[in-house]
Structure 1
């Protein structure tokens, strides 16, 4: 393990500037973090957020938004209402410059507006989660909005595949008979954004049954990396799935494969590592004894005398350049973690079998400022990342430049509390159109999907 200096205190750096754009620079090199991003520059942010007169979404000057969808509205397909709890999302190229969006709905068994049951697209009629799909023209006008998969549970995040489909993840491991469910849950499902009936509602059981969060696919090897969002002990694991058909293609993951969990020698809990730039070589991958978790959750199974490496709140996951990046949203020693932080971003290079801690948000982070508990992440046009904040207080989409500066990109103005005690729903599902001219992002509650346009390539 190599070490560099500890991360800067966000409270110390941001206290004077509030949420209006004062960035911070983290210790350690960020050059590799943005490999494969759309641009090579990344010159800080786009300026302070301007208050939205409509009270929906604050953006920097020069940017505008369009509301594409709201919970409770009628689906254009006539299948029912737009479900609640907007979460993970991805954008795919459509015809004539248009875009297809696939959007998760993280509804539990008692979800307020569940995904409508549709014949041929429903896994378990008793479950209220799933996905909806939007078809947009080149000006982000909604042409269609329909159910893409139904009867799944707590669809949190997921990820796109190199062959143009969406893998939606159930952050739930209830078995049939629990909470009224008629089938076991905790699976990944493949969704075709153009014609969901081509993929149906088939669980990819070989990829494991656990509290899935997100996935990223190695486009060269076909390996699928998976995060497990467990916020209570035992904490989650970081997985890889070795498919029997690594060449990929729609439906290829149904052919099965091998599920393994990551072991960092000598590190039972990733939260114990606090030094930005800390590096570990010789990462091991251990076969999961029972991927279906018939009797015992995977994170509790016996991985041998060396054990396995856990981490609290493993969430966002994406592939960039030659590496996979994944997020630990936070760690709290009072809840059993080995250390405290308000977010880590890790990088694993499969060629060198090397794991690196790229970013740490320290335990003295001010929760009212951007940067608490990073969740969904994606590459940004300016050569960095966009990250959805999932914490308490004000909620933001914030950017991270190649130099490690944090800046706010959007602020949620929809108060779901009271004037005296305001609350704001988290952001989720940040993604960009294939031409990087539009950022799409969800407000979780009240469920709202925005299309944000402006001088992205400035």
Structure 2
């Protein structure tokens, strides 16, 4: 049974894409404050954020006044390791603390078998020589200078997002279900791989098969017990599921997830499709977790398997996932009834409280009615040192990194200025992989295409 609570609608602001261009906005309904539970106490930014975006004369990245960027890496340039060119399609990323103030950036490359700039194959780091995806790792010194850039795992496919572990590694997720013999692959794909960015050969290229074979998107780890939550971004109906993995060796460090465990899928009693829930604050107790019949999906994709007479709960475009306070949050980027969802929305953020076994719809994204091109499709998401969120937009038109204050006010933090289309029909690649340095002084973010990794510094407020 759903329990509806009264939640106010937050401030709605129109954000201009650029002078003379169509307006872009994001509207939020819901209680943003609870998204930041467990973060350090911080004051929200004012309603102006950091001020208007200033067009970049170099045509790469527009930022507010006082902020500056450094291009750390760009597709097609040579990796500093000499292993080959920087691969394309920069996607999910994490910034992990290293020794002596160093920062390890580990970056996904969402390459399919048609990619022109694949992740170079490296002995000991390659899973399937036919796979063109994988990860690269950059090490930065305490002043933000690039010390090294190398392949971290290769021979995987469609590495979309993932998430950091509690012991300083990265779990990279394959967003595909292709099996050996499909699209030229020599091995089954659709797995999670653990990557040690400080020393990739320590982690190798070993699929974590017990964590399931499906169209993975992102993960988040419960720091109390090591349970790993996983989202599935399935492209066709029935859509993806929300999973949890109960490891046999929880919190065991690098390689411990290879020991196996139990994979389960979430069932919300009476709710076969999360898109049918439209009111923020809607809450469901007694959430059930059902063992996945065949985690390797040897014959049937997991979302199509038999979960018993009660079925299982699906959702379209399950993407970002992170842990905050005592809860895990996950994003549904959009739902479209024309594609098979129960209802339409421009994005949702859900909160699951494991202790209470309760799922709550916290935020709903939606367009203002007076703009022609609304901001939509939240994707990668991270906590910001200001106490709010940074959200990567993956929609149509101009692409932004949006900040969201603890009061729910929205402001533009960055805009992709790299026009890959024409003057008459401009196109801009999405943002992905937003993350902050351990000291909170630098924001790292990827432009998906052309693949570019930026480091943004400036007067960040706490």
Query: Shorter-normalised TM-score: what interval?
Result: over 0.9
2:307 maps to which residue? Answer: 303
1:214-252 deviation digits (Å, cap 9, x = unpaired): 000001010000000013211000000000011331101
2:164 maps to which residue? Answer: 160
1:326-370 deviation digits (Å, cap 9, x = unpaired): 00000001111011111100110100011111110136675734x
Q: 1:225 to 1:157 in 2, by over 3 A?
A: same
On the 8 A contact 2:27/2:367 being kept in 1, the answer is no
Cα displacement (A) at 1:139: 1.8
1:133 aligns with 2:149: no
1:170 maps to which residue? Answer: 174
Q: 1:72 to 1:26 in 2, by over 3 A?
A: closer
Determine the C-alpha separation between the residues in 1 that align with 2:442 and 2:186. Answer: 40
1:373 aligns with 2:371: no
1:75-104 deviation digits (Å, cap 9, x = unpaired): 100100100000000001122212110000
On the 8 A contact 1:8/1:362 being kept in 2, the answer is no
Aligned length: 454
1:116 aligns with 2:116: no
Determine the C-alpha separation between the residues in 1 that align with 2:156 and 2:333. Answer: 24
1:43 aligns with 2:49: no
Aligned with residue 16 of structure 2, among 15, 18, 36: 18
| TM-score normalised by length of structure 2 | 0.95
Unaligned runs of 5+ in 2: none
Task: Indicate the SS of the match to 2:385.
Answer: coil
On the 8 A contact 2:190/2:214 being kept in 1, the answer is yes
1:246 maps to which residue? Answer: 250
On the 8 A contact 2:227/2:247 being kept in 1, the answer is yes
Task: Indicate the SS of the match to 2:16.
Answer: coil
Unaligned runs of 5+ in 1: none
Task: Indicate the SS of the match to 1:398.
Answer: strand
Determine the C-alpha separation between the residues in 1 that align with 2:248 and 2:96. Answer: 26
1:2 maps to which residue? Answer: 3
Cα displacement (A) at 1:146: 0.3
1:203 maps to which residue? Answer: 207
Cα displacement (A) at 1:4: 4.4
Determine the C-alpha separation between the residues in 2 that align with 1:265 and 1:396. Answer: 37
Q: How does 1:362-401 map to 2 (within 5 A)?
A: 362=366, 366=371, 368-369=373-374, 371-401=375-405
Determine the C-alpha separation between the residues in 2 that align with 1:419 and 1:322. Answer: 48
1:453 maps to which residue? Answer: 457
1:34 aligns with 2:36: yes
**Which deviates more from structure 2 when the two are superposed, residues 36-45 or residues 119-128?**
36-45
Alpha carbon RMSD of aligned pairs, Å? 1.8
Task: Indicate the SS of the match to 1:361.
Answer: strand
Determine the C-alpha separation between the residues in 1 that align with 2:328 and 2:363. Answer: 14
Q: How does 1:232-243 map to 2 (within 5 A)?
A: 232-243=236-247
1:181 maps to which residue? Answer: 185
On the 8 A contact 2:108/2:135 being kept in 1, the answer is yes
**Which deviates more from structure 2 when the two are superposed, residues 131-140 or residues 30-39?**
30-39
1:387-419 deviation digits (Å, cap 9, x = unpaired): 100011010000111111111110000000001
Determine the C-alpha separation between the residues in 1 that align with 2:346 and 2:28. Answer: 14
Cα displacement (A) at 1:49: 0.8
1:284 maps to which residue? Answer: 288
1:405 maps to which residue? Answer: 409
**Which deviates more from structure 2 when the two are superposed, residues 360-369 or residues 349-358?**
360-369
Determine the C-alpha separation between the residues in 1 that align with 2:296 and 2:447. Answer: 33
| TM-score normalised by length of structure 1 | 0.96
Determine the C-alpha separation between the residues in 2 that align with 1:22 and 1:448. Answer: 23
1:59 maps to which residue? Answer: 63
Task: Indicate the SS of the match to 1:32.
Answer: helix
